[in-house]
């Protein structure tokens, strides 16, 4: 009987110790895990030049320069996961990535599930149409159009919201979602869509690399704009990591380094598409 009790107590103590270790591990912050691991894992979608795009087998771009700066300041290596944009939040929630850096626009819905850094870039939604299309000057003019978007982006949300319940509701306008804006541009060339709605720099890149297209800011008929801000995301509750990120990116914004990254990669992305 004594042996049975002793065995029971030993098992109970082991369970308690294991629970204690599990709790301690759960209490480790993302910043602590990054430093212990020696690697910063960043999830992105390399289909957003000049912010992230493929050069051979490497993911490069303005955002990846920032990711490298963050890793260097933390004293760790950088690992990049290239995935679909609409799955970025899942990688953060599952702990498979520490940060998501992919020209992510801050929205109220996203703030419910992710922590965001201070914005590092302002942008606007743009409309891309054929060069000879004189009918579209604002969002309201997309009535009856098939509008190409990239799934899960703010351009997708904007177009879908307007078609479903906004200024384009009941006009015959529809949304065609793509996984990649390059494919959306091919869809326009094939006549599958008559317009694309996406972020400013992405629209400019599409026009720079596809003939007979033009782009302009997506404003409403009353002149109101669609200004947005990009920020770096972490899992909900990882405020310590985000505070460190803010500390690192602040001088990059103030001394013009961030703008230089964007300009440099705008040129490099265009050259890469010409090769």
Q: pLDDT (tens digit, 9 = 90+) per residue, 173-188? A: 999 999 888 899 999 9
The mean per-residue pLDDT over the stretch 223-235 comes to 94
Question: Does the structure show a pLDDT above 60 at 1?
Answer: no
> In the prediction, which pLDDT does 273 show?
55
**Structural contact between residues 114 and 99, judged by C-beta atoms closer than 8 angstroms:** no
Question: Does the structure show a pLDDT above 60 at 17?
Answer: no
User: Distance between CA 113 and CA 93 in Å, rounded?
Assistant: 9
Residue 233 φ/ψ, nearest 5 degrees? -115, 150
> In the prediction, which pLDDT does 15 show?
44
The mean per-residue pLDDT over the stretch 38-58 comes to 94
Binning the chain into helix, strand and coil, the percentages to the nearest 5 are 45, 25, 30
> Per-residue pLDDT tens for 90-111?
999 999 999 999 999 999 999 9
> In the prediction, which pLDDT does 29 show?
86
Question: Does the structure show a pLDDT above 50 at 18?
Answer: no
Nearest to 133 by CA among 198, 200, 205, 188: 188
User: Distance between CA 46 and CA 56 in Å, rounded?
Assistant: 12
Instruction: Name the pLDDT band for 3 (thresholds 50, 70, 90).
Output: very low
> In the prediction, which pLDDT does 13 show?
45
3-state SS class at 73: helix
Name the one residue in this structure whose structure tokens are 């490298």: 68
User: Distance between CA 169 and CA 151 in Å, rounded?
Assistant: 20
> In the prediction, which pLDDT does 11 show?
45
C-alpha distance from residue 244 to each of 91, 222, 258 (Å): 20, 41, 17
> In the prediction, which pLDDT does 180 show?
86
Angle ∠(217,225,197) on CA atoms, nearest 5: 45
> In the prediction, which pLDDT does 24 show?
37
Nearest to 213 by CA among 140, 126, 142: 126
> In the prediction, which pLDDT does 271 show?
66
> In the prediction, which pLDDT does 22 show?
40
> In the prediction, which pLDDT does 274 show?
52
**Structural contact between residues 195 and 128, judged by C-beta atoms closer than 8 angstroms:** yes
> In the prediction, which pLDDT does 230 show?
94
The mean per-residue pLDDT over the stretch 69-85 comes to 97
- Mean pLDDT across the chain, nearest whole number? 89
β-sheet bridge partners, residue 275: none
Question: Does the structure show a pLDDT above 70 at 168?
Answer: yes
**Structural contact between residues 51 and 61, judged by C-beta atoms closer than 8 angstroms:** yes
- Torsion angle of alpha carbons 237, 39, 268, 234, nearest 10°? 0
The mean per-residue pLDDT over the stretch 15-41 comes to 70
């Amino acid at each position: 009987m004594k042996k049975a009790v002793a065995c029971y107590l030993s098992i109970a103590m082991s369970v308690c110790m294991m629970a204690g270790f599990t709790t301690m591990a759960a209490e480790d912050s993302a910043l602590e895990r990054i430093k212990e691991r020696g690697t910063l894992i960043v999830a992105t979608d390399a289909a957003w030049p000049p912010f992230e795009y493929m050069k051979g087998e490497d993911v490069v771009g303005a955002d990846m320069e920032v990711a490298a700066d963050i890793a260097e300041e933390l004293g760790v290596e950088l690992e990049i996961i290239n995935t679909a944009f609409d799955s970025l939040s899942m990688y953060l929630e599952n702990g498979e990535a520490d940060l998501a850096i992919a020209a992510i626009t801050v929205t109220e819905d996203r703030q419910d599930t992710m922590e965001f850094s201070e914005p590092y870039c302002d942008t606007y939604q743009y409309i891309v149409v054929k060069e000879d299309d004189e009918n579209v000057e604002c969002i309201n003019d997309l009535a009856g159009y098939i509008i190409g978007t990239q799934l899960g982006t703010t351009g997708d949300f904007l177009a879908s919201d307007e078609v479903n319940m906004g200024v384009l509701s009941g006009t015959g306008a529809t949304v065609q979602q793509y996984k990649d804006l390059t494919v959306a541009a091919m869809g326009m060339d094939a006549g599958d869509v008559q317009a694309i709605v996406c972020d400013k720099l992405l629209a400019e890149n599409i026009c720079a690399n596809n003939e007979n297209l033009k782009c302009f800011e997506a404003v409403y008929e009353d002149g109101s704009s669609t200004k947005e801000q990009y920020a770096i995301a972490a899992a909900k509750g990882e405020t310590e990591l985000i505070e460190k990120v803010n500390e690192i990116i602040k001088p990059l914004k103030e001394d013009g380094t961030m703008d230089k990254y964007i300009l440099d990669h705008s040129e490099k992305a265009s050259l890469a598409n010409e090769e």
